[in-house]
Chain A
């Protein structure tokens, strides 16, 4: 079981490394969107400190979503996906591997750069630690839930916009608990409760979403 998952992760990472521009552009999208907010609302530190968790999380949601259509589209185009579906291993495990690989190239870089952007918003050290941790914990759920949307919209016209319409409402709990953890830390309440719920969401979606995506892929491949 772990062999097939790690094989898919290794393959997807190798493919991603050959096209590093894709990873970097999603990352820069995140940086640019976050940097636009201080320009739009003005540079008052108090206001920015208050807005930072929400802005960073919404930008992370959008950046994750931008990279989702490529999750299955390339494999679908060259027929690899059909071969994977025909393989003796359950398709759910293959999708699990693809989701983890997607997180490694899209979610993890966001978490690594988030503290730098947090400093721009004048967040305290505590809040920065919680923000990084929350994005680390929450982005796997984004990749998992997003995989369902990517599989459902595979090969459809207007797939990108449709994907955002399907996936963004389902992202709301992650956004609320992710931003809530940082908010609670800033307010001095401690973000442990929010972080626990975020972890619960991540484990639940990593457990269930690949199988739902696998069912959606089978529908798309029929």
Chain B
């Protein structure tokens, strides 16, 4: 029984660090493959929209970025819950590694949304329920990063940040619905891209791009978590061995 594969083994930074190192190239490669396929399908194959012309093609960035911005927050909150419940070191590191990517996705979603909104609605920004709640999501990411950056003690930073994430996740539905009830004026214009009105190639292009964004996020989070590990565990033997090994290769 002692050879049984044990997932918990990777809860330790010393074992997770090399695992992340071997996984990163795979996720990068997958991201590139999905990205190229998605862009080819989206930019070259998918037909021009009869209503929005070529401008609609921003959907291939906009929708995956919006999805990721929401998923990443949920995943961070999941890590936070695990970290607070089981007091694991890796969970807090993962949550911190994901935060900048999540904020980037939220920003990208708002930015591409503004670029899309200008030709379609005639405005860079409207105070629509979706736009406003995405903006608040960006604020929550920034709040989390500011809080963890302000706390020097890594353990306290993880726990305090985790608690904030959990409070935020309770609030997200409340914020979303309050914003929706507050101003439903423009709601129709942002969700009329239902699947039925979408050509199949468009849908596939979007899904491929979403996979590309997934793989990118995983790869970049793993890279970041490796750096965080090295920084936090710098007093341990395995980091010293790792860094010495690197220096030896470099010579």
Contact = CB atoms under 8 A, between A and B. Distances in A.
A216 B140 CA distance: 17
Contacts of B166: 212
26 contacts: A148-B163, A148-B164, A148-B167, A152-B147, A152-B160, A153-B150, A156-B150, A158-B150, A165-B139, A165-B143, A165-B146, A166-B143, A166-B146, A169-B140, A169-B143, A169-B171, A170-B167, A173-B174, A176-B179, A177-B178, A180-B181, A180-B182, A212-B163, A215-B163, A219-B163, A220-B156
Interface in A169-222: 169-170, 172-173, 176-177, 180, 197, 201, 208, 212, 215-216, 219-220, 222
Interface string A148-173: 10001100111100100110111011
A197 B174 CA distance: 11
B151 to A, nearest CB: 6
B32 interface: no
A156 B156 CA distance: 11
A98 B175 CA distance: 26
By CB atoms of chain A within 10 A, which of B150, B170, B175 has the most? B150
Nearest to B150: A156
A219 B158 CA distance: 10
B244 interface: no
A208 B166 CA distance: 12
A203 to B, nearest CB: 13
A165 B136 CA distance: 11
Interface string B172-193: 0011001101100000000000
A168 B138 CA distance: 13
A153 B147 CA distance: 8
Given A170-B168, A173-B174, A176-B178, A162 B147 contact: yes
A216 B147 contact: no
A2 B246 CA distance: 62
A101 to B, nearest CB: 22
Nearest to B139: A169
B163 A216 contact: yes
Contacts of B168: 170
Contacts, number: 68
> Main SS of chain A's interface residues?
helix
A166 B146 CA distance: 9
Contact of A169 (B136, B147, B159, B181): B136
B160 A176 contact: no
Interface residues of A, number: 27
A145 B223 CA distance: 35
Contacts of B167: 148, 170, 212
B144 to A, nearest CB: 8
A166 B147 contact: yes
Given A165-B147, A169-B171, 12 more contacts: A156-B150, A157-B150, A162-B150, A165-B143, A166-B143, A166-B146, A168-B139, A201-B174, A215-B163, A219-B156, A219-B159, A219-B163
B142 A165 contact: yes
Contact of A220 (B160, B175, B178, B182): B160
Nearest to B178: A173
B149 to A, nearest CB: 9
A156 B151 contact: yes
Contacts of B147: 152-153, 162, 165-166
Nearest to A183: B182
By CB atoms of chain A within 10 A, which of B143, B146, B170 has the most? B143
Given A162-B146, A172-B175, A219 B160 contact: yes
A173 B182 CA distance: 9
A152 B163 contact: yes
A153 to B, nearest CB: 7
Contacts of B182: 176, 180
Which 6 residue pairs across A and B have the least CB separation, nearest first? A173-B178, A169-B139, A219-B159, A176-B182, A166-B143, A176-B178
B162 to A, nearest CB: 9
A62 to B, nearest CB: 16
B150 A172 contact: no
A209 B235 CA distance: 38
A1 to B, nearest CB: 24
